[in-house]
Structures are given as C-alpha cells and as structure tokens.
Amino acid sequence: MPTLTYLDAIRQGIWEEMERDPSVFLLGEDIGAFGGAFKVTAGMLEKFGEDRVIDTPISESAIVGAAVGAALMGMRPVVEMQFMDFIACGFDQIVNMAAKIHYRWGPAVPIVIRGPSGAGVHGGPFHSQSNEMWFVHTPGLKVVMPATAYDAKGLIKAAIRDENPVIFYEHKFLYRRIKEEIPSEDYVVPLGKAAVRREGRDITVITYGAMVWTALEAAQELEKEGISLEVVDLRSLLPYDEELVLASVRKCSKVILLHEDTRTGGMAGELAALIAEKAFDDLDGPLLRVTAPDTPVPFSPPLEEYFLPTAQKVIGAARKLAAY
Amino acid sequence: MATVRAPKTVQNVTATPDRATLARMLYFLKLTREAEWRIEQVLYRQGKIVGGVYTSRGQEAITVGTAIQLVDGDVVTPTHRDFAAHVIRGTPLQKIFCNWLGRADAPTRGRDGGPHIGDISRGIIAPISPVGAWCPVACGAAMALQRAGQGRIALTYFGEGTSARGDVHEAMNLAAVRKLPVVFVCNNNGFAYSTPPEKEYAVKSLAVRGPAYGMPGASVDGNNVLVVYAAVEKAIARARAGKGPSLIECRTFRMTGHSAHDAAEYVPEDLRKAWAKKDPIERFQKILLREEILTKPQLEEMDRRIQKEIDDAVALAEASPFAAGATAVEGVYCGAECWWEKPLN
Ligand SMILES: Cc1ncc(C[n+]2csc(CCOP(=O)(O)OP(=O)(O)O)c2C)c(N)n1
Ligand SMILES: [Mg+2]
C-alpha cells in the first residue's frame, strides 16, 4: 500500500473520481498550471485538460453560482476555495441558492466546495478560521472535515459522489504533517459516520479535524495517570453520527467536547444539547468544552498559541472530570 | 471614539508637483523599496516574520503618486501592496515593522499581521485578506465625507485580479449612482497570484469599466510617478468638487513572486526583464537629477537617511515585546472602557 500525506490523499481522491466520472470537473483560482496555492490540484490540468480544470477570476460568488448551474445540468463540480476563509465571498450562493434548491423544487445539487481551513500556521485572522459552523447551521448542506489521510481520500470521494452540496474542510496544518498507508483499491468513507480513533473507558473526547490528534496526544499522557480516554472523530459535522456519539457517551459516562473552532455556537454546544436530551441519565459528570475562545484567530505566535486548544487543556479538563 | 481628523478647510494639492513634493515622492519611493526589501529579504529570511510577505516592488510609483496628494481628513483603503500609503499618511516606520513582526507596539498589537495596518486618525482603513472588500467600505466613508461637505475624498486601491470581485463592481456602481467622492485606483501588475489578466477579465483595458458604470476611466503608465500623479490629480479634483468618482488603471508589473514563498516560475522571464528596464525609481531619479531638482550629494544623503531610519525602526521593533497570550481574549467588543485606549502589558 502506498504511503500518502493528507494532502496527497485528497489529491488522489479527486484524481480518481475525475478518471471514473467525466462529469466531475474543477473550478477555482490558480488551480490549473499552478496546481493551486497548496498544490492539491497539481498535474490535473495536464492530465484532464482545460475543460475540466478551470482557472477562474477572483470571483467566489460567481464560482459557486456557476458550480450550482453546472450541477443542475448534470455535472459534478468540485470548487476550490484558496482558503476557506474566502468562502464568505460566496456565502449567498451557498446558503440561499445551493442549500435550498432540492428542498424547494426537487433537483439535486451535487457540488463540493473544498479548501484549507484551520490555524496553527500563523496565518492571522483571515487564513486560519474554522468557520464550519456557518454551514452546519444551514439545512441542505453537508459538512465534512477529515482528520486522517485515509479519511481524507475516502471522504472526498464520497463527497463528490453525493447528490448534495458538500462543504469539505481540509485542515491546512495536517496537509503535509501526517501520512499513512492508503489502500490502492477504490474505497469511500461514508458521509455522516463518525469513527472511534482510540478505545477508552473513563472519558470520551468527541472532536474532529486536527483536534483529533490533540486528543490522542492527551490520551497518551493521561494513560500514565491511569485515566483512559476514548477519542471519537466525528468526520462529518452535518449530518453527524448521533448513534456513535451516544454509544460512546453511554460507555464512558464522562464527556469532553473538543474543537478548534470558537466556543459560542460551536459544535460542542450542539453535541452537549444532544447528550443532555438523550443520555442525561448516563452522565457521571458535567459536559466540559475545550475550545478556542470567542475571538477572531489572532496572528502573533503567543496570541495564537493562547487561542488554540492544546493537549494540556484537554488533560486539565480530563483531570477535573476524573474527580467526579 | 477616534475617527478621521477633519481639517477646517481642504485644498487641492498644487497642479504640477512643486520641487519639495517631487523630492518627497522620491524619498517615499526609495523608503518603500528599502523598507520592503528589509522585510522580505532580511527579516523574513531570518525567520523573524511568520506568515505571508507581500511587497510592492516595481509598482511603488502608483501608491506614491496617488497617496501623496491626500490631505488631512481624506480616507485611504490600501491593499497588501500599498506600503507607501502608510508612511505617507504618517504611520511611523517602527509601527509598521512591529506589525510585520507581530509585536505589541504594532497598530494591531499582534492580532493581525503584515500589511493589515489601519489607523483611523490618519484616515487609513486596514485591509482584510478577502481582496476588494474595502472598496464598498471606501464608498461608505465617502458618503460621510460627502455629507460633511468639505471636499474630502476617499482613495481606494485594488489589483487587476481583484477587479473581478463583485464587491469592486458593486462599489463602482454605488459610487457612480451616488456621485461619491471616491477615486478608484487599480494597480494592474500583470498577475493575480499565478493568474494573468486575460483569465481575470476580457476587456482590453480596465479603464472602460469607468464609463460602463458612469464615471471617467483612464489607463496610465503606472511606472511613471509623474504620469500617475497627473491622472489622479484630475480624479481627485473632480471628487473634491462634488462631481463624483473616477477610475484609473495604472499599468505596472509585480517584480516579485505573489509573496515571499512564491518563486513565480510562471512569470515569463522576458516579461520580467522588459519591465525591469522601466523601474519607476530609476526613471524618476534620473528625471530629478536631469532637471536639477536634486543633486547627487543630496541623493546620497537621502539614501543614507533612509537606511538609518530603517535600521532605527527595525531595532525598535525587534526590541518591542509580544503581547502576552492572554490578551488575545480582551477587547473583542467596544464599550465604555475601550481596550485600545489602555496601554498594553
Ligand atoms: C476573495 C479572495 N479570494 C482569494 C484570495 C487569495 N488571493 C490573495 S491575493 C490574490 C491575488 C490578487 O491579485 P490582484 O488583485 O491582481 O492583486 P496583486 O496581488 O497582484 O497586487 C489572491 C487570489 C483573497 N485574498 N481573497
Ligand atoms: Mg495583480
């Protein structure tokens, strides 16, 4: 099995879908000869030609709108946002156009909007955001964020094959930092399904994206203290895997909700509500959130470091919970 | 709350720039070139600057020839390639270096980086990364200036790639409809990251967009600071007189990669070489020597002074501390007690 980085896994997933299905094509800024700002589409222009790898003007609204139009004609556009922060410039086309077509009048809108998100690279307030909740709050969209290379490939393929608009968050910190062996044969990771990354007994950490690795780091440390963490990787945020979340909560009875996104209105709050509704009797302690604070992502290294959740913060929360 | 300082009266800057203005323009051109060189070729390479590094090398004349004509009370919205606008408006060099280094003494106190610098008292509205988003903001500033009725104006910059953004189109239309005192200055530097102009728009010159929205449009040599000055002078006079907005495209070339990490292999070598011969600073300096506006010794003195100013500013910036991590959560909202009005650390 070849070993691929998270980035190459996404690239290979798109590549294979383009080979498999001629209706798949790409739209984005600097994605052609340049291969994209992070090189996710490197070599695709040469392989698939200008009809299928389309360099656009800097016009996010037109890019998403055009993707919707093409999708209505039976195509499967995959849109790259140079940074997911700039998805804001295509917001109306996503939340009012793409998200509501099927519900209102029937047609499928099989588009994927993908790109780098997340902090940890000193990108400042406009190259670091975790803005997934803008879209998790929009019925009609699906929202995905892989944490591993295997999932990155399997999820991008599933997203491309899905009949609905999928917002696909890649974590730029993981792009070249993680790699793993990936099967050569075709596979998908289904949307809406979470995964247990590490089995544990005492506390479940429910998280997604780069924070999965933070949770695993904390779990390793805590093992030395005899605290056993389970780590649940949501993989899909909308729809999310209620069943697996609840099963893990019932098993461990103590819960940490962890994300890189800011606190208020974050995924943790949604999960806390679900758990309070459906697993209240199973809880042996308070639901603890470990998240970024409610601020923009600051630029300078000490500020960004303070902003980001860390393994230490997870460990602190776990020790607190262990006392219950 | 702080806002843009309003002068009692606003006068247009003199017709042809006088000798002092000419010398100041050369000074700001050189200061910009050298300060950005320090940022890109020294501080960045030393690993002291994290994040993207964008400079205006080769296109400094556009910002200098335009911003030099602003007066107190005017508003400017710079892009990531308008370093000169900040120094011309009086932002201390040291503050600018602090911003690049993410230090506490920076106008953003380390919350944002690089060219994202604003100073409301100097009429500088800080850019955000999503390009062109400041053009509608310039229109709003111009609405307020229009009501104030003093002949103050807003100057808004954007790149040719950015001209494709809906925000820019909406801003130009709004400005024309409301006859707002806005001057739109497009720096057409031949590339938007790796993308050449023919992939951004299908018109021969962006100047045609002016009349298309109901305002004058011009396209000028952006590497000749005097030509830029003259073109914008007309537009500014028009705006001050209440006759509405104008669009000026300044043709130039980006003599660097998109940012410091970009080797720009997609830029044809002959194109770069051809533009290197039209360096705006060399051209202008020759004119000033020929016309005896400045002497050789004066030029040498100017160069020395600039190096010293940069050395001093960098030293101060490097000595400035980082804001403590915990300050990240302060000052998210503006209230009776303004966090920004308190000293940091
Ligand atoms: C809305 C938006 N989309 C994409 C980007 C990424 N990006 C940053 S600068 C740039 C190119 C801008 O080109 P141009 O307007 O010509 O300005 P230049 O950098 O050449 O001065 C791009 C695509 C962005 N900042 N904002
Ligand atoms: Mg450009």
SS3 A272: helix
A305 at B interface, C-beta within 8 A: yes
CB-nearest to B113 from A61, A85, A124 is: A124
Which residues have C-beta under 5 Å from ligand 2, the single-atom ion? B 159-161, 189, 192
Instruction: Give pLDDT, residue B6.
Output: 65
pLDDT tens digits, one per residue of B232-255: 999 999 999 999 999 999 999 999
Q: Are B110 and A89 in contact (CB < 8 Å)?
A: no
Which of B5, B266, B304, B305 is an active site residue?
B266
Using the mean position of ligand 2's atoms as its centre, give its distance from the Cα of residue B138 in Å: 20
Q: In this structure, what token pair is assigned to residue A211?
A: 């924070």
Q: Where do we find the tokens 């100047």?
A: B207
Q: What percent of chain B has pLDDT over 90?
A: 92
Q: Which of B81, B83, B162, B262 to mutate to test the pocket of ligand 1 (most atoms within 8 A of CB)?
A: B162
**Comparing C-alpha atoms, which of B227, B33, B64 is closest to residue B157?**
B64
Q: Are B200 and A61 in contact (CB < 8 Å)?
A: no
Task: Yes or no: say if B101 and B109 are a contact pair by the CB < 8 Å rule.
Answer: no
Does the CA dihedral B203-B249-B38-B316 come out positive or negative? negative
- CA-CA-CA-CA torsion for A226, A149, A175, A212, nearest 10 degrees? -30
Q: Which residues contact A129 (CB under 8 A, 6 or more apart)?
A: A84, A85, A117, A118, A119, A296, A297
Q: Where do we find the tokens 């002092």?
A: B20
Q: Is B86 among the residues known to form the active site?
A: no
Residue B293 is classified by DSSP as: S
B132/A65 Cα distance (integer angstroms): 19
- Residue A78's DSSP bridge partners are A26, A112
Q: Which residues contact A195 (CB under 8 A, 6 or more apart)?
A: A151, A232, A233, A235, A244
| Nearest chain A residue to B267, by CA | A34
Task: Please report which confidence band the pLDDT of residue B344 belongs to, taking 50, 70 and 90 as the band edges.
Answer: confident
Residue A272 has, within 13 A of its CA and on its CB side, a CA count of: 17
Q: Are B323 and A302 in contact (CB < 8 Å)?
A: yes
B12/A107 Cα distance (integer angstroms): 58
* Ordered structural domains, chain A, with CATH: 3-181 (3.40.50.970), 195-322 (3.40.50.920)
Rounded mean pLDDT, B288-313: 97
Task: Yes or no: say if A79 and A64 are a contact pair by the CB < 8 Å rule.
Answer: yes
A80 at B interface, C-beta within 8 A: no
Distance between first and last Cα of chain B: 22
pLDDT tens digits, one per residue of B284-293: 999 999 999 9
Ligand 1 atom closest to the CA of B193, numbered from 1: 11
Task: Please report which confidence band the pLDDT of residue B10 belongs to, taking 50, 70 and 90 as the band edges.
Answer: low
Residue whose Cα lies nearest atom 11 of ligand 1: it is B192
Ligand 1 atom closest to the CA of B54, numbered from 1: 19
**Comparing C-alpha atoms, which of A199, A207, A210 is closest to residue A148?**
A210
Nearest 5°: phi and psi at B249? -95, 125
Instruction: Say if residue B16's pLDDT is above 80.
Output: no
Q: What percent of chain B has pLDDT over 70?
A: 96
Go through A183-206 and write b for each residue having 16 or more CB atoms within 10 A of its CB, e for each that does not.
Answer: eeeeebbebbbbbebbebebbbbb
Kindly state the greatest CA–CA separation across chain B.
58
Listed in sequence order, the DSSP H helices in chain A are 6-20, 44-48, 60-72, 91-92, 99-105, 132-136, 149-161, 211-224, 242-252, 267-278, 301-307, 311-322
Nearest 5°: phi and psi at A92? -60, -45
Distances (CA, A) of B108 to B60, B228, B324: 24, 31, 14
Q: Which residues of B touch A85 (CB under 8 A)?
A: 129-130
Residue whose Cα lies nearest atom 17 of ligand 1: it is B159
Q: How far is A125 from chain B (nearest CA, A)?
A: 6
**Comparing C-alpha atoms, which of B59, B11, B74, B113 is closest to residue B323?**
B113
Beta-strand pair A112-117/A76-80: parallel
Task: Please report which confidence band the pLDDT of residue B51 belongs to, taking 50, 70 and 90 as the band edges.
Answer: confident
Q: Which residues contact A112 (CB under 8 A, 6 or more apart)?
A: A76, A77, A78, A79, A156, A159, A160, A162, A165, A166, A168
Residue A22 is classified by DSSP as: T
Q: What is the pLDDT along chain A (324 residues), one digit of tens a residue?
A: 899 999 999 999 999 999 999 999 999 999 999 999 999 999 999 999 999 999 999 999 999 999 999 999 999 999 999 999 999 999 999 999 999 999 999 999 999 999 999 999 999 999 999 999 999 999 999 999 999 999 999 999 999 999 999 999 999 999 999 999 999 999 999 999 999 999 999 999 999 999 999 999 999 999 999 999 999 999 999 999 999 999 999 999 999 999 999 999 999 999 999 999 999 999 999 999 999 999 999 999 999 999 999 999 999 999 999 999
- R_g (Cα) of chain A, nearest Å: 19
Nearest ligand, CA B127: 1
Using the mean position of ligand 1's atoms as its centre, give its distance from the Cα of residue B161 in Å: 6
- CA-CA-CA-CA torsion for B109, B110, B111, B116, nearest 10 degrees? 90
Q: Is B193 among the residues known to form the active site?
A: no
Q: What is the pTM of this model?
A: 0.96
Q: How far is A56 from chain B (nearest CA, A)?
A: 7
Q: Where do we find the tokens 């400035």?
A: B320
**Comparing C-alpha atoms, which of A174, A113, A62, A149 is closest to residue B166?**
A62
Residue whose Cα lies nearest atom 26 of ligand 1: it is B130
Q: Is B266 among the residues known to form the active site?
A: yes
- B105 conformational bin, left if phi > 0, alpha if psi -120 to 50, beta if neither: alpha
Q: Which residues of A touch B166 (CB under 8 A)?
A: 59, 61-62, 89
Neighbours of A269 (CB within 10 A): 16
A142/A189 Cα distance (integer angstroms): 14
Mean pLDDT of chain B: 95
Residue A25 has, within 13 A of its CA and on its CB side, a CA count of: 21
B284/B188 Cα distance (integer angstroms): 20
Q: In this structure, what token pair is assigned to residue A227?
A: 């605290």
**ipTM over 0.90 threshold:** yes
B301/A163 Cα distance (integer angstroms): 68
Q: Where do we find the tokens 């779990």?
A: A219
B200/B164 Cα distance (integer angstroms): 6
Q: Are A300 and B195 in contact (CB < 8 Å)?
A: no
Q: Which helix (H) or strand (E) holds B237?
A: helix B225-240
A299/A177 Cα distance (integer angstroms): 21
Residue B51 is classified by DSSP as: S
Helix/strand/coil percent split, chain A, to 5: 40, 20, 40
Distances (CA, A) of B178 to A73, A145, B208: 40, 44, 20
Q: Are B111 and A122 in contact (CB < 8 Å)?
A: no
Using the mean position of ligand 2's atoms as its centre, give its distance from the Cα of residue B187 in Å: 7
Query: Ligand 1: residues whose CB is within 6 Å?
Result: A 29, 58, 60, 82, 86, 89; B 79, 81, 129-131, 159-162, 187, 189, 191-193, 254
